[in-house]
Structure 1
Amino acid sequence: MKPFLQCERDGGVLTVRMDRAESRNALTDPLQMQEFVDLCTQIKRDRSVKVVVLTGNGSAFCAGGNVKDMRERGGIFAGSPYEVRESYRGGIQTIPLALYELDVPVVAAVNGPAIGAGLDLACMCDIRIASDNALFAESFVRLGIVPGDGGAWLLPRIVGMPRASLMAFTGDTIDAAKALAWDLVADVVPADQLDAEAQALAQRIAANPAHALRLTKRLLREGQHMRLDSLLELSAAFQALAHHTEDHHEAVNAFLEKRTAQYTGK
């Protein structure tokens, strides 16, 4: 079976495409979930990766779980309540733990519907840009289930509790324009320009020193659950590390000399 995730490399930018267009990139197989975990492990080890772009092949970004499997109580939904619980814990819940905590910035290029777990997957990324035909729904309640992959934690941190509650309690679908107005996405572009816009954004991010990107992302993540005084302590430690990198000195010299910096990742 071909891999679920297709990876392409352009300098410091790694583009990852979910490749099950026939199923609208639904997350149905534990092997798919393990691919996410394994990829994140590889990226953490590869210090030359600066940015990840996540998108989907075909008409959808990710259609969530497999509803047919739910009806038949098959696949990851098979077995006793205890077994289903363990399927979630050892399956789809490994994705937010790996992807959300990834050291490098992740840009979601939402090329089409992001439904249920697909929306939550987009919310695990740092920045979301959408095509003008993208759709978003926290639709679990319409199937009589709950957000099982972290959506109840992720979505309110992006759009705020009132709007997250509205989406989660109704299961309604919103379009790209409303997603932009609600700050769910940072930008909306024509569908035929999405890839180019996502790559341009990723390259702007990747133009910066790798260590500064990773440390900055870690501060942003830690800042979501730390007190200010604790975050300041961590910021001071990270800043001391950053000041003693070769790329920092190159950045300062390039700024003063009015030239483009040449970073080495050291």
Structure 2
Amino acid sequence: MSDFLLKSRDGPVAVWTLNRPEQRNAFSRPEDMYAFEEACEEVRADPSIRVVVLTGAGSAFCAGGDVKAMRDRTGLFEGSPYQLRNRYRDGIQRIPTALYELETPIVAAVNGPAIGAGLDLACMCDIRIASETATFAESFVKLGIVPGDGGAWLLPRIVGMPRASHMALTGDALDAKTALDWTLVTQLTAPEALMETAMALAHRIAGNPGHALRLTKRLLHEGQHMRLGALLELSAAYQALAHHTSDHAEAVAAMLEKRPARFTDS
């Protein structure tokens, strides 16, 4: 059991907090990776959770890997090349798979530095908002390594290949304003307003029917690699399902009757 990921609940919104502030929320143990899989399973099993907010405790969002452990070749970084390869596959690479396959929308509230694997973790979320003091770096090359957790797939899809190449090949950090200009984040807030803003956004999203949210997220993900014709077929199938939910009927009735909707996730 890991104490790395704290979980709480505010109505239909689940809040996950990276909780190792003394290490700037860096990944340091295998249990840290498994905690994300466990959290995703809990959300998947509870349709009343319509949105997840992910943030960090203390001054950082996530500093990535434990650099001292890299130096000492201990913990996650010990062993032969073959052992390291398997440790990446069976460890941190389980996080992008778990988050990508989770149909519930995820909002990253980036409260401070998101560095290396920390930046990639933010990129695994569907929406990123950030404190004005946050920084972002795809900094693997500065340590003589490569993005080992899917960043080379995620980052170009968010900021485009030229900017992703700029970030990954220089390893340089972006300030929050540049991250906004480059569409890495969609909104900046004062540090003290970050969680309030993130929760307000999450509750606006959660005000929509859960089935529609989950199916829409799936369509957005599938649309990144499907032909238009195939996506249209999938959209038609999902739309047929959505039309037969009670939440669709309630949404239509509420709109016509000019009243708030009462969704039951059914």
What is the TM-score with the length of structure 1 in the denominator?
Answer: 0.99
The one-letter code sitting in structure 1 at the alignment partner of 2:130 is A
SS in 2 for 1:136: strand
1:134 aligns with 2:134: yes
Partner of 2:225: 225
Distance 1:61 1:210 in 2: 28
Structure 1 residues 6-155: aligned runs within 5 Å: 6-155=6-155
User: What pairs up with 1:140-179 in 2 under 5 angstroms?
Assistant: 140-179=140-179
Give, as a single letter, the amino acid of the residue that structure 2 aligns with 1:135.
T
For residues 229 and 47 of structure 2, the distance between their equivalents in structure 1, rounded to whole angstroms, comes to: 30
Q: Distance in 2 between matches of 1:120 and 1:194?
A: 20
For the residues of structure 1 that align with 2:97 and 2:262, how far apart are their CA atoms? 33
Cα distance in 2 for partners of 1:102, 1:191 equals 28
Give the CA deviation at 1:162: 0.2
- Letter of the 1:252 partner, please give it: V
How far is the alpha carbon of 1:101 from its aligned partner? 1.8
> What are the ranges of 5 or more consecutive residues in structure 2 without an aligned counterpart?
none
Q: Within 2, Cα distance between the matches of 1:16 and 1:40?
A: 10
Equivalent in the alignment of 1:180:
180
C-alpha displacement of 1:3:
1.2
C-alpha distance after superposition, 1:128-168 (max 9, x if no partner): 00000000000000000000000000000000000000000
Match of 1:234 in 2: 234
Aligned-pair CA distance for 1:10: 1.0
CA RMSD in angstroms comes to 0.8
SS in 2 for 1:247: helix
Aligned-residue offset at 1:42? 1.3
CA contact (8 A) 2:6 2:17 kept: yes
User: How many Å apart are 1:2 and its aligned residue?
Assistant: 6.3
Q: Is the 8 A contact 2:2 2:31 kept in 1?
A: no
Helix, strand or coil: the match of 2:260? coil
Q: In percent, how many aligned pairs have the same letter?
A: 67
Superposed CA offset, 1:209-246 (max 9, x none) = 00000000000010011000000000000000000000
Letter in 2 for 1:221: H
Alpha-carbon distance in structure 1 between the residues aligned to 2:21 and 2:146: 25
Structure 1 counterpart of 2:75, one-letter code: G
SS state at 1:185 partner: coil
3-state SS, counterpart of residue 26 of structure 2: coil
What are the ranges of 5 or more consecutive residues in structure 1 without an aligned counterpart?
none
Q: 3-state DSSP class of the match of 2:255?
A: helix
Kept after mapping to 1: 8 A contact 2:2/2:32: no
Amino acid at match of 2:63: A
Shift of 1:118: 0.1
Structure 2 residue aligned with 1:259: 259
* CA distance in structure 1 between the aligned counterparts of 2:246 and 2:2, rounded to whole angstroms: 41
Q: How many equivalent residue pairs?
A: 266
Q: Secondary structure at the match of 1:109?
A: strand
Secondary structure of 1:231's counterpart equals helix
Aligned to 1:212, the other structure's residue is in SS state helix
